[in-house]
Amino acid sequence: MRLILLGAPGSGKGTMAADLVKEYQIPHISTGDIFRLNIKNKTPLGLEADTYIQQGALVPDSVTIAMVADRLAQPDCKTGFLLDGFPRTVEQAEALKVMLSACKCKMDAVVELELSDEEIIGRLTTRRVCSSCGKTYNLDSNRPLQDGICDACGGALYQRDDDKPDTIRQRLANYNRQTMPLSDYYKNQNLLVRINNEGEVGSSLPAVLAALRSRA
């Protein structure tokens, strides 16, 4: 199964990705993880990307696309994968199409998680992250046993700067401008599966699986 997961920040992609890779036994290909791994290992692409990141600039598409192409060429991706965070633009989607064509592969589906801006802001502003181990909590749906303290390691919980209302609205505006065109792009290719992800976290998985089965 070859899948792309689309959705605005806070739409529940992390939970859905974890459930789908477990269901289909495929690797979770996150652009954030690819960047961190390449930078950590000081690969040529990682070093190039890091020069932009250190300057606070966006990493060019050419570098991002090359990193993704390298990752998809690994043996564990031969029978499938879940792409999360790529493509972000129609240009990147076109590059992905070329990559897949070169290996005579094709996408099975693009899952888009839909959530209202109000719900997203509510979810993200109540998110807290452990400063030691990175475990994530939510003050509404997944509270720690002790306020401000991580259950797993006892570290202090904090609110990320990008989880504050004004920053969230800017992130949503960026997503709507840059990534939302992918929705129509993949709809026109009959690949798009739209899922309303309101409600309890993780509750939409059966609907996603049913939609994917119906396409088989």
Catalytic residues: 13, 88, 127, 160, 171
**Helix, strand, coil: what percent of the chain each, to 5?**
50, 15, 35
Q: What whole-number distance in Å separates Cα of residue 131 and Cα of residue 42?
A: 25
129: β partners = 136, 158
Q: Give the pairing of strands 127-130 and 157-158.
A: antiparallel
| Secondary structure E strands in 68-165 | 81-84, 109-114, 127-130, 136-138, 157-158
* CB-based contact 152:135 (threshold 8 Å): yes
161: which residues sit within 8 A by CB, 6+ positions away? 167
Angle at 169 between CA 28 and CA 8, to 5 degrees: 25
Q: What whole-number distance in Å separates Cα of residue 90 and Cα of residue 96?
A: 10
Q: Which residue's structure tokens are 């606070």?
A: 56
